[in-house]
Amino acid sequence: MALDKPHWKELFSEVVTSGLCTGCAACVVACPHDVLDYESEGGVYKPWHLDIDGGREGCTHGDKGCTMCTRACPRFRNWESEIDTHRFARERTDDEVWGIGDVLLARASDPEVLAGSQDGGFVSALLIHALENNVIDAALVSTLEGDGSDWVAQPGVARTREQVLASAGSRYTYSANLLAYPEAVEGGAERIALVGMGCMVSAPGAMQVRKAGKIARRLSLTIGLLCSKTFDDAIFEDLFEAKYQIRRADIVKMNIKGIFQIWTRDGAFHEVPLKEAHAYTREGCVHCPDFAAEHADISTGGIGAFGDWTLVIVRTDQGRALMESLRESGAIETRPGDDDPGAVALLHKLAQVSRKRWPAEAVPGPRRLPLVRG
């Protein structure tokens, strides 16, 4: 952290309005003065400052020395090397394109968990295991608004197996799961797992290394989701419905496997080319360099030859201990990453593509061009 005590003013000009802001909401949650709010209407997904306190660009608390928003932001200045060094006691090497960690494949042993999940149900199996074995008190997850038929993703808290199962599966619009943090704390949670894409799961590391108080301590486990982009809500009406006559209320599941896959209530299966979806890319994703959720304890994805398995990257000691405990309990089965060399090659390629998106004029770390590793 620089010695100049950067606060909202610097965050606003260097991240929020420069194109680097992902909308992760870490700054909003970290602000102790409640002067930051979050815009999630109209595809904006950005923090904003309440005009009552210094206007859009300034913050009177910051003028007095409050730096909590910049301490929490996982896109502020040298975020990547700071968080790498804190999490892994070293910076990544240039060929560690998808970050530091070991790849394997895993899936839930419980058929009920597997059935309702996106890929191998590993994330849900892990959360249930961690809740039932006193590793965590609550998890910040993504749920669906109302009865789910509108596919509006929203942050939520899971404390029970039933709540974990209700939140399973992937939504491809944004859900700033960190915003559920106050609800988890109000419910008495001290050890909280965060599930989210790379933009969100780098936040606890940023908060910990820059000493952002209690929040950093409570966010004790991070489960990452591999991600190359999320989409604006308009994709439902303007593309799926207008061009393919797929109504959002009829959709029961979506997945992305090189193409948008959509299953509907009538049992039909639809495919929408990804290149048609690109026009609906959420603004906060355009410059994101992190495909592989590089600062999570464990990152997970759906790429690879085996549809009902989750690709897992175990990154930290805590992640390794949890994997061991999951295996011993029989909650998951695993196989080596070597069983699917194509998945590892694709992981490398997609991570490399994302890293090139980081703007050349920003701090250089995430853009360093790596060696090709197979």
Ligand X SMILES: Cc1cc2nc3c(=O)[nH]c(=O)nc-3n(C[C@H](O)[C@H](O)[C@H](O)COP(=O)(O)OP(=O)(O)OC[C@H]3O[C@@H](n4cnc5c(N)ncnc54)[C@H](O)[C@@H]3O)c2cc1C
Interacting residue ranges for ligand X, rule: CB under 6 A: 117-124, 141-142, 153, 167-172, 175, 177, 195-197, 225-228, 230, 256, 300-303, 310
Q: Which stretch binds ligand SF4 (CB under 6 A): 18-26, 151-159, 259-267, 314-322?
A: 18-26
Binder of ligand SF4 out of 129, 229, 295, 315 (CB under 6 A) = 229
Residue with tokens 């959720």: 293
Distance of alpha carbon 335 from the chain centroid: 24
Cα four-point dihedral sign 115, 127, 139, 286: negative
Report if residue 227 touches ligand SF4, rule: CB under 6 A: yes
Binder of ligand SF4 out of 6, 7, 21, 297 (CB under 6 A) = 21
Task: State in angstroms the smallest separation of the CB of 66 from ligand X.
Answer: 28
Nearer to ligand X, 185 or 226 (CB): 226
Task: State in angstroms the smallest separation of the CB of 64 from ligand X.
Answer: 35
Task: State in angstroms the smallest separation of the CB of 118 from ligand X.
Answer: 4
Binder of ligand SF4 out of 177, 230, 299, 300 (CB under 6 A) = 230
Distance of alpha carbon 309 from alpha carbon 105, whole angstroms: 6
Binder of ligand SF4 out of 8, 10, 22, 280 (CB under 6 A) = 22
Task: State in angstroms the smallest separation of the CB of 71 from ligand X.
Answer: 23
Q: Which stretch binds ligand SF4 (CB under 6 A): 145-153, 222-230, 300-308, 317-325?
A: 222-230
The amino acid sitting at 337 is: G
Q: Which stretch binds ligand SF4 (CB under 6 A): 52-60, 68-76, 162-170, 241-249?
A: 68-76
Q: Which stretch binds ligand SF4 (CB under 6 A): 97-105, 226-234, 259-267, 322-330?
A: 226-234
Distance of alpha carbon 251 from alpha carbon 268, whole angstroms: 10
Report if residue 47 touches ligand SF4, rule: CB under 6 A: yes
Distance of alpha carbon 189 from alpha carbon 192, whole angstroms: 6
Distance of alpha carbon 303 from alpha carbon 93, whole angstroms: 24
- In the three-class reduction of DSSP (H, G, I as helix; E, B as strand; rest coil), residue 272 is classed as strand
DSSP bridge pairs for 153: 144
Report if residue 365 touches ligand SF4, rule: CB under 6 A: no
Partner whose footprint covers residue 171, from ligand SF4, ligand X, none (CB < 5 to 8 Å by kind): ligand X
Binder of ligand SF4 out of 7, 24, 179, 303 (CB under 6 A) = 24
Nearer to ligand SF4, 25 or 114 (CB): 25
Nearer to ligand X, 27 or 326 (CB): 326
Under 8 Å CB-to-CB from 168, ≥6 apart: which residues? Answer: 113, 116, 117, 118, 121, 123, 124
Nearer to ligand SF4, 72 or 114 (CB): 72
Binder of ligand SF4 out of 121, 284, 319, 337 (CB under 6 A) = 284
- DSSP annotation of 93 reads P
Asked if residue 230 lies in contact with residue 23, where contact means CB atoms within 8 angstroms, the answer is no
Question: How many Cβ atoms from other residues are within 10 Å of residue 175's Cβ?
Answer: 26
Nearer to ligand X, 85 or 170 (CB): 170
The amino acid sitting at 15 is: V
Report if residue 73 touches ligand SF4, rule: CB under 6 A: yes
Backbone angles phi, psi at 224, to 5 degrees: -95, 155
Task: State in angstroms the smallest separation of the CB of 356 from ligand X.
Answer: 16
Distance of alpha carbon 135 from the chain centroid: 21
- In the three-class reduction of DSSP (H, G, I as helix; E, B as strand; rest coil), residue 21 is classed as coil
Report if residue 26 touches ligand SF4, rule: CB under 6 A: yes
Asked if residue 172 lies in contact with residue 256, where contact means CB atoms within 8 angstroms, the answer is yes
The amino acid sitting at 332 is: I
Distances (CA, A) of 200 to 25, 26, 219, 309: 8, 8, 12, 23
Q: Which of residues 135-194 bind ligand SF4 (CB under 6 A)?
A: none
- In the three-class reduction of DSSP (H, G, I as helix; E, B as strand; rest coil), residue 63 is classed as helix
Which residue in 130, 99, 350 sits closest to 221, CA to CA? 130
Task: State in angstroms the smallest separation of the CB of 154 from ligand SF4.
Answer: 15
Q: Which residues bind ligand SF4 (CB under 6 A)?
A: 11, 15-16, 21-27, 47, 72-73, 75, 197-199, 227-230, 284-285, 288, 290
